Amino acid sequence: MQNQPVAVDNPLPPSPNPPSSSTVKPTELRRDVSIWGSFTWGYADVGADVYVALGLVIGAAQGAAPLAFLVAGIVYILVGLAHTELAAAYPVSGGGQYYTLRGLGDFIGLITGAALLLDYTICISLFAVASAGYINFFFPVIQTYSTSIGPFKDVNLIWAAESLSLIGLLALLNIRGIRESSLFNELIGATDMILETIVVLFGFLFAWKPAMVVTQYNTAFPTTEKFFYAVSVAIISYVGLESISQAAQETRRPASIIPRTSIALIIVVLLFALSFPVLALGILPWDTIAKREGDPVAALAHEIPYIGFLAGHVAAILGATIVLISANTGVMGASRLTYSMGEFQLVSPWFNAVHKKYHTPVRSIIFFCGIAAIQAIFAFLSGKGAMDMLVNMYAFGATLAYLLVFVAFIALRNKDPHAPRPYKVPLNIRAFGMELPVLAIIGLIATGGMLGIVLWTHPLGRIAGPGWVIFWMIAYCLYRKKNKLPLLGNIKRDWEKDHIAILTSAEEFEYLEQYKMALEKKAVTRG
């Protein structure tokens, strides 16, 4: 049984026997995420992208950095619109994994889930490390500290310990429940957005020189390979939208709220993602920013009149907070995604256990925070190369997952036309007896191209990324074989019944009635 809705106030009594793989009855996640909470889950990744990726993108794209962000932004809009439609139509916690499972079957659902899990665990480790790095702005001694452990040189043990502590803190916070971590996101998200807006406004008003942007574009255009590398790094901000989908099952009235938060996020993402590189290249030479890969926003803010004297401190606080909530988004995403995959018997139901007191998927949280901690340890043991590996794998996971989501999107439009779609991506045509969403087809081609770019420009991504997916495929095959479930086929599911349960649970009664009427009409048509 899938997605059996159970009121939170009336949870299922504990089963006297451990549930078998086919009789899992999970307690439903609490619906505590508000509009602002839903938005800030996604926004966390956007802000983090600016703090972590701005220097990297400008370093590679040089004077063409705004163009690199724009190219990535166009693909991002297409991905965003598809996710908006799907998250509103299917407000469950699986996100891309659920859409591909429903549209393309169990095995593809597993691959998408594995790609997204890769992104979420790296999100935790990468941004926890970055957050600790920004905290160390106030403790320069720690920044310069290093030691040797056996064959590993220049290991910053204190920074590593800080990062691991942050991962542990986030794990505890998420085990306590989504209400607490959502509130955490909401407050920090709001503060960060205000502060980023001040930087942008003051920057454009008092320090920005348009001629400098044009000059740098004309004189410092990168090579083709560097430009595409920059585009693929800029793409990491996509994961923000997936986070909104991941929180769908805990969002109040998701079908009504998610289209708004998702579309708002697309617009806000573009505003910030395009503003910062344009602003940066109008204030500083590209190579100056490139040299400040660790704190490009601080370097930028330092040049702005009135607020420049506070630049270092403000940027450090901003950086530490926004990347920390991004890491928190990773914890939430990984645990919710595994919860969904467990429900659908793509991974062991062992992950499904919900904390008796807090109703949160405690095992998933601990497991993936543990993996993130291991990734962070490897990062510190390997130096800068490990950070590159994390970014490489991040880009691989995102583009693979979004490619499969576009295929599922097109399939679901035709396989499940009766599901109410509170938001529908425009530009659709009928041909060959099918509904063809033009923008999704363009998005499919674009993300396919992006995946090609990632494999071309990220040597580690093309090895470690597929390696991770193959690992989960092997685990999937072993689990399905052990439980005598189809390996490449699908478990039979009553999607219509599940969908009614989802909409009922979400209290989306308008869409529920629409769906019931559509099903009745379908039944009459079929006689």
Contact yes or no for 302/311 (Cβ under 8 A) = yes
Contact yes or no for 325/36 (Cβ under 8 A) = no
Q: Give the helix/strand (H/E) hosting 499.
A: helix 495-505
Which of 67, 169, 220, 271 binds another protein (CB under 8 A)? It is 271
Amino acid at 138: F
Q: Is 3 in the site for another protein (CB under 8 A)?
A: no
Q: Is 201 in the site for another protein (CB under 8 A)?
A: yes
Nearest C-alpha neighbor of 79 from the set 327, 354, 511, 440: 440
Q: Is 380 in the site for another protein (CB under 8 A)?
A: no
Nearest C-alpha neighbor of 387 from the set 458, 286, 455, 456: 458
- For the window 294-313, what string marks contact with another protein as x by the rule CB under 8 A? -----------x--------
Q: CB-based contacts of 25: which residues, under 8 Å, 6+ apart?
A: 1, 4, 6, 12, 15, 19
Q: Is 500 in the site for another protein (CB under 8 A)?
A: no
* Residue numbers 148-177 binding another protein by CB under 8 A: none
Contact yes or no for 64/222 (Cβ under 8 A) = yes
DSSP bridge partners of 147 = 155
Which of 200, 323, 353, 405 binds another protein (CB under 8 A)? It is 200
Q: Is 509 in the site for another protein (CB under 8 A)?
A: yes
Where does this chain touch another protein (CB under 8 A) — which range of 225-233, 287-295, 455-463, 506-514? 506-514
* Residue numbers 204-233 binding another protein by CB under 8 A: 204-206, 208-210
Q: Is 237 in the site for another protein (CB under 8 A)?
A: no
Two structure tokens written together for 143: 């920044």
Half-sphere CA count of 126, side-chain side, radius 13 A:
29
What's the closest the beta carbon of residue 307 comes to another protein, in angstroms?
A: 13
Q: Is 146 in the site for another protein (CB under 8 A)?
A: no
Q: Is 493 in the site for another protein (CB under 8 A)?
A: no
**Cβ closer to another protein: 214 or 470?**
214
Contact yes or no for 236/86 (Cβ under 8 A) = no
What's the closest the beta carbon of residue 271 comes to another protein, in angstroms?
A: 6
d(CA 475, CA 137): 42
Where does this chain touch another protein (CB under 8 A) — which range of 8-16, 257-265, 402-410, 453-461? 257-265
Residue 91, Cβ density class (10 Å: 0-12 exposed, 13-18 middle, ≥19 buried): buried
Q: CB-based contacts of 179: which residues, under 8 Å, 6+ apart?
A: 30, 32
What's the closest the beta carbon of residue 72 comes to another protein, in angstroms?
A: 19
Where does this chain touch another protein (CB under 8 A) — which range of 21-29, 234-242, 344-352, 510-518? 510-518
DSSP bridge partners of 251 = 33
**Residues touching another protein, count (CB under 8 A):** 33
**Cβ closer to another protein: 204 or 221?**
204
Which of 176, 260, 462, 493 binds another protein (CB under 8 A)? It is 260
DSSP state of 36: H
Which of 26, 39, 56, 62 binds another protein (CB under 8 A)? It is 39
Contact yes or no for 289/58 (Cβ under 8 A) = yes
Q: Is 512 in the site for another protein (CB under 8 A)?
A: yes
Instruction: Output the CA torsion sign for 451, 454, 457, 458.
Output: negative
Binding site for another protein (CB under 8 A): 35-36, 39, 197, 200-201, 204-206, 208-210, 253, 256-257, 260-261, 263-264, 267-268, 271, 275, 278, 282, 305, 507, 509-510, 512-514, 517
